A and B are shown apart, each in its own frame.
Chain A
Amino acid sequence: SAVISQKPSRDICQRGTSLTIQCQVDSQVTMMFWYRQQPGQSLTLIATANQGSEATYESGFVIDKFPISRPNLTFSTLTVSNMSPEDSSIYLCSVEVPNTGELFFGEGSRLTVL
């Protein structure tokens, strides 16, 4: 298993601003993922954070809106840029147990945009 720390755990932000969410893992991992869970909905993959290269984004998500950093094998950040109320959601960092497909999640960052 992996221990994943995310911060902030929650934030209330003004429209048009940006917020950076941090994810720290207690061990080196190859695959780190960022998910979004909108109110009452399931999880949607935003992107895969690759160490040493650009993140791989899923359809409907772009780097300008959700820039991601992955400076090493234990840390990643997700920025939600130029926020609007539609970005209000829980953002979850996740890591995969190698070769199993099993995922461990951080506790999530609950974002409210006014």
Chain B
Amino acid sequence: RKEVEQDPGPFNVPEGATVAFNCTYSNSASQSFFWYRQDCRKEPKLLMSVYSSGNEDGRFTAQLNRASQYISLLIRDSKLSDSATYLCVVNTNAGKSTFGDGTTLTVKP
């Protein structure tokens, strides 16, 4: 079993749609959690950190459920520019980051 597992996707949605990505992790000692965005042929960039209390940044909402070892990302009112691969990343207290395989989103007009 992979340490970090994501919805395989791809997700193809129309503009304006709401889309949710799920991620589970196996290491209960994991300390911090993130969503990164990677555009085609570009490096990953931090989208947002994920906290137990949940956090929101504009159209993006991230949730963490430590009991279920589950992380989610919700994108509301999808834009064409949201098309990218979204990577779930889990960091242990040893400072090691483990990346999920990513979920590809395509937003269509």
Contact = CB atoms under 8 A, between A and B. Distances in A.
Contacts of A87: none
A101 interface: yes
B20 interface: no
B34 A101 contact: yes
A69 B49 CA distance: 30
B104 to A, nearest CB: 10
A102 B46 CA distance: 7
Interface string B69-109: 00000000000000000010101000111111110000000
A92 B45 CA distance: 12
Interface in B24-69: 31-32, 34, 36, 42-46, 49
A42 B100 contact: yes
Nearest to A43: B99
Given A100-B32, A107-B43, A42 B97 contact: no
A106 B49 contact: no
Interface size class of A (residues with CB under 8 A): 10 to 19
Nearest to B43: A105
A95 to B, nearest CB: 12
A41 B6 CA distance: 13
Interface string A44-85: 110010000000000000000000000000000000000000
Contact of A31 (B34, B89, B95, B98): B95
Contacts of B31: 101
A45 B95 contact: no
Contacts of A48: 95
Given A42-B101, A42-B102, A101-B32, 15 more contacts: A31-B95, A41-B101, A42-B99, A44-B99, A45-B96, A48-B95, A92-B44, A101-B95, A102-B46, A103-B46, A103-B89, A104-B46, A105-B44, A105-B45, A108-B43
Interface of A: 31, 33, 41-45, 48, 92, 96, 100-108
What 4 A-B pairs come out closest when comparing CB atoms?
A: A101-B91, A101-B32, A105-B43, A43-B99
